[in-house]
Amino acid sequence: MTRSTAETEAVRIARERFGIDGTPSELPGYEDVNTRIDSSAGTSWVLKVSPSTSDLSTIHLTQEAMTAVDGSAFACPQALPTKGGEFFATFPDGSIASLHTWVDGVSHADRGHPQAAAVSIGRTAGEIVEMLSTISTDTVRTDRQWDLRYCVDTIKSLSYHLSSTTQRSMIDTVVDRISTVPVDDLPVQVIHSDLNTSNLLLKGDTVVGVIDFGDARNTIRIAELAIACAYAMLHQDDPVAVASRVCMGYREFSEPSDIEATHLFDLILGRLATSLCIAASVPGTNPHHHDTVDATWELLARLVAADMTAISVELRAAALGRQLPEPDHQPLLEARVVLGPSLTLSYSEPLHIVRGSGQYLFDNRARRYLDCVNNVAHVGHSEPRVVDAAAAQMAVLNTNTRYLHGNVLRYARRLAATMPDHLDTVFIVNSGSEANELAIRLARTATGRWDLVCIQDGYHGNTSTLIEVSPYKFDGPGGHGRQSWVHVLPSPDPYRNIRYSGPDAGANYRIDAQRMLDDVEPAALIIEALPGCGGQLVPEPDVVAAAYDSAHERGGLVIADEVQTGLGRVGAAFWAFQLHDVMPDIVTIGKPAGNGHPLAAVVTTSAIAQAFDNQMEYFNTFGGNPVSAAIGNAVLDVIHDDELQENARVVGTALVEGMWELADRMTPIGDVRGSGLFIGIELVNDSESREPAPALASAVVEYAKAHGVLLSIDGPQHNVIKIKPPLVFTLDNAATVVAVIGDALDSTS
Ligand code: PMP
């Protein structure tokens, strides 16, 4: 039957059998055909036509359930009799029609899944369970697919419809867990059985209506809470916390027993897996069925990657009204001793991150965090095209550059093609440090000189030589100070050094650099065009060129350290040095190149590479291996295909603008600067004196973390909030960051 015929038919049935008249409109339905009918007087009803396979006792049970909850805190539809006084009309083909009152309201789903509704959702589920407990029934529904008591059977019988191995393996994990649930020992009663977010109507954050009792059945009682939790957890940053609040509300009306609480989480997983398997088995386009599928996979992937035992314990406690257990990182913290004490962890309460996807990270409780820190995951955490390229090549071959192989050549050519023409020779290595170390060897060999020039507060890597050209380290705690062969130019910080701000900045820097390098014969200057550890600086025009010139004029080379800034991050250019009118002799690339896989590179001129060929062979065991090169190529593909450089420009610009708007009303924001998605926000205690505010910066970072946004701090005074997220960051993400920093500053002032 086409929809319009169905609607005409519905109007006819409503008139002839139920004595009401009105205009029809379509409503979603699973097996039933549901039509809304609006009378001219403003009354609305739902006419439900159930297929001939429906059995009358099931429909009777539905109506009994609706009657039983009449008088509860929320509205729900009530069945209206036919002209002949029956509660449903039957037809010769076996189909059945019933007419229900219309319940007005906007569903939780249509309201955008507000997490604040969680307690009310729980209360509603609890109240329904309480009110339906009075029904005693012999009705056994024949449709067992949606009965959570039989979820293992349903999932096992349908999972073959899933085509993706990742999806199947998630479902297998769920089946392993839920197979042990002792369903026969769980208390049974009639429940609504489908408290999904489309069936809960809200006013504000309160459930004021419950619709669709068509799934009501006699089954395990705890399924009501499990189903309410499963759907309330969709689209949430912290789904386990939301489920805990659903439990809290539920307990106001109904207290789960110990065994029910123990298996609550398993049954939540069971419901999620059931709905995914059923969706996969129904290939049609019924939106009612497929709407929530993506969100359900997303949630399931998070839960399966998380510490499911801990989540189960947490939800059991919530269901029993007990104090929730604190996250316990102690075992891992103690085990970390094996890594030595010099590695520090981020945040006062460390994070245990178990999964990443796009611009998000997920902890072991499936909580989602917006990642503004990991510039390494350049094209997004676990980017599928990168993962696939790595897995495919790993499965075939991984060797080294002593054999001919196309991957490394293609990668080297593609990298060189992004550079000025003279930079045509590429060395592939494994880390930013290794790239800078090799760059220094190249410069020293090519110039026959030893001395190096760097910039105040610069950081270039963790090897002995690189610490010696990293004032951020050698001048910091545990550092040994400056070596005699190292020469340090001033930080080109326009906010803190008045000489390097404004129209004279370049000229002033030129004078100062010339003076400082007066009698120096450097092998090279190593410099970031946008200094990162120096405080996410954006030097004034001509300042970087002045630094370059100071080295070039003395016969030295310039190494552009693009480890933080390269591959499109800065938006307006592919490489940060291109933001300035300069020509490096050597460019080093690291962090983002392999999207998390250790891949880095040095790009230089053929003349420098020739000079390096001095009989001492250069070999790098891992550098340029076929797997790394395949990954590097995939990263370049994604940057190009998804136009991520342009995205960095658009989103970065919006973020900086948003932060400046915030700065207008928030005095601790002393400066906002950046290019693309390489941004720094400098916090000060006083906008006049510009006294750095490191404690405030830490407080903001902790607040943001508690609200699901990961930020970090840098700069010599530890007062610059650093933002360098995966380039898949969206405008919404940028708005979230601005809002959370604003709230953090509000809450600390
Ligand atoms: N150069 C810069 C500018 C860096 O920020 C870093 C790392 N923070 C490095 C080099 C060293 O890179 P890696 O840690 O990969 O050795």
Residues 240 and 233: their CA atoms lie apart, in Å, by 7
Q: What is the DSSP letter of 163?
A: -
Residues 695 and 673: their CA atoms lie apart, in Å, by 20
What burial class does residue 65 get, using C-beta atoms within 10 Å of its C-beta: 0-12 exposed, 13-18 middle, 19+ buried?
buried
Atom 16, ligand 1: residue with shortest CA distance: 433
* pLDDT at res. 445: 98
Distance 264 CA to ligand 1 centre (A): 46
* pLDDT at res. 446: 98
* Site to substitute for ligand 1 among 433, 455, 464, most atoms within 8 A of C-beta: 433
Phi/psi of residue 674, each to 5°? 160, 175
Q: Is 592 in the pocket of ligand 1 (CB under 6 A)?
A: no
Residues 121 and 131: their CA atoms lie apart, in Å, by 15
Residues 79 and 86: their CA atoms lie apart, in Å, by 10
Query: What DSSP element (H or E) covers 669?
Result: strand 669-675
* Site to substitute for ligand 1 among 459, 466, 569, 602, most atoms within 8 A of C-beta: 459
Residues 429 and 645: their CA atoms lie apart, in Å, by 24
Helix (H, G, I), strand (E, B) or coil at 527: strand
Residues 590 and 487: their CA atoms lie apart, in Å, by 24
Every domain of the chain and the residues it spans: 3-101, 108-320, 352-378+644-748, 421-622
Q: Is 594 in the pocket of ligand 1 (CB under 6 A)?
A: no
Chain Cα centroid distance, residue 557: 41
Q: Which stretches within 78-212 are classed as H helix?
A: 118-132, 151-158, 165-178
Query: What DSSP element (H or E) covers 267?
Result: helix 264-281
Token look-up 């916090």 returns 683
Whether the CB-CB separation of 445 and 517 falls below 8 Å is answered with: no
Question: CA 652 → CA 148, 236, 349, distances in Å?
Answer: 47, 25, 29
Distance 485 CA to ligand 1 centre (A): 21
* pLDDT at res. 218: 95
Distance 9 CA to ligand 1 centre (A): 70
C-alpha dihedral, 425 to 431 to 432 to 438, nearest 10°: -50
Q: Which CATH class is domain 421-622?
A: alpha beta
- Ligand 1 atom with the smallest distance to the CA of 565 is 3
Tens digit of each residue's pLDDT (9 = 90 or more) over 289-326:
566 899 999 999 999 999 999 999 999 999 999 988 87
pLDDT band at 240 (very low <50, low <70, confident <90, very high): very high
Distance 717 CA to ligand 1 centre (A): 19
DSSP β-ladder status, 586-589 and 524-527: unpaired
Whether the CB-CB separation of 394 and 335 falls below 8 Å is answered with: no
Distance 432 CA to ligand 1 centre (A): 5
* pLDDT at res. 290: 66
Structure tokens at 103: 């319940």
Phi/psi of residue 372, each to 5°? -105, 10
Q: Is 729 in the pocket of ligand 1 (CB under 6 A)?
A: no
Residues 52 and 127: their CA atoms lie apart, in Å, by 33
Q: Which residue has the higher pLDDT, 114 or 28?
A: 114
Residues sharing a CB contact under 8 Å with residue 7, sequence separation 6 or more, in sequence order: 24, 25, 26, 35
Q: Is 564 in the pocket of ligand 1 (CB under 6 A)?
A: yes
Distance 465 CA to ligand 1 centre (A): 13
Residues 145 and 156: their CA atoms lie apart, in Å, by 11
Atom 13, ligand 1: residue with shortest CA distance: 432
The answer to whether residue 285 scores a pLDDT higher than 80 is: no
Whether the CB-CB separation of 186 and 263 falls below 8 Å is answered with: yes
* Site to substitute for ligand 1 among 434, 437, 591, 597, most atoms within 8 A of C-beta: 591
Tens digit of each residue's pLDDT (9 = 90 or more) over 696-734:
999 999 999 999 999 999 999 999 999 999 999 999 999
Q: Is 563 in the pocket of ligand 1 (CB under 6 A)?
A: yes
pLDDT band at 536 (very low <50, low <70, confident <90, very high): very high
**Per-residue DSSP letters for 399-463?**
--TTS--HHHHHHHHHHHHTS-TT--EEEEESSHHHHHHHHHHHHHHHHT---EEEETT----SS
Residue type at 640? H
Tens digit of each residue's pLDDT (9 = 90 or more) over 51-80:
876 677 888 899 899 999 998 999 999 999
Distance 711 CA to ligand 1 centre (A): 18
Residues 50 and 173: their CA atoms lie apart, in Å, by 36
The answer to whether residue 286 scores a pLDDT higher than 70 is: no
Tens digit of each residue's pLDDT (9 = 90 or more) over 610-649:
999 999 999 999 999 999 999 999 999 999 999 999 999 9
Q: Give mean pLDDT, residues 446-464.
A: 98
The answer to whether residue 9 scores a pLDDT higher than 70 is: yes
Structure tokens at 198: 């489309």
CB neighbourhood size of 305 (10 A): 19
Residues 247 and 320: their CA atoms lie apart, in Å, by 8
Residues sharing a CB contact under 8 Å with residue 545, sequence separation 6 or more, in sequence order: 506, 580, 581, 582
Percent of the chain's residues with pLDDT above 70: 98
Which region among 284-298, 324-338, 524-538, 665-679 has the lowest average model confidence (pLDDT)? 284-298
* pLDDT at res. 33: 87
The answer to whether residue 234 scores a pLDDT higher than 70 is: yes
Whether the CB-CB separation of 669 and 659 falls below 8 Å is answered with: yes
Whether the CB-CB separation of 473 and 460 falls below 8 Å is answered with: no
Residues sharing a CB contact under 8 Å with residue 109, sequence separation 6 or more, in sequence order: 196, 197, 198, 291, 292
Atom 1, ligand 1: residue with shortest CA distance: 460
Within a 13 Å sphere around the CA of 229, how many CA atoms are in the beta-carbon half? 34
Going by C-alpha positions, the residue among 686, 749, 684 that lies closest to residue 720 is: 684
Q: For the chain, how big is the Rg over CA atoms in Å? A: 32
Extended beta strands in 522-666, E state: 524-527, 557-561, 586-589, 600-604
Residues sharing a CB contact under 8 Å with residue 243, sequence separation 6 or more, in sequence order: 118, 229, 232, 233, 268, 315, 318
pLDDT band at 412 (very low <50, low <70, confident <90, very high): very high
Q: Under CATH, which architecture does the 3-101 domain have? A: 2-Layer Sandwich (3.30)
Candidates 3.90.1150.10, 1.20.1260.10, 3.50.30.30, 3.30.1330.40; CATH matching 352-378+644-748: 3.90.1150.10
CA angle 465, 401, 585 (to 5 degrees): 45
Structure tokens at 566: 């390269």
Distance 513 CA to ligand 1 centre (A): 25
Does the domain spanning 108-320 belong to CATH 3.40.50.300? no
pLDDT band at 2 (very low <50, low <70, confident <90, very high): low
Mean pLDDT of the chain: 95
pLDDT band at 327 (very low <50, low <70, confident <90, very high): confident
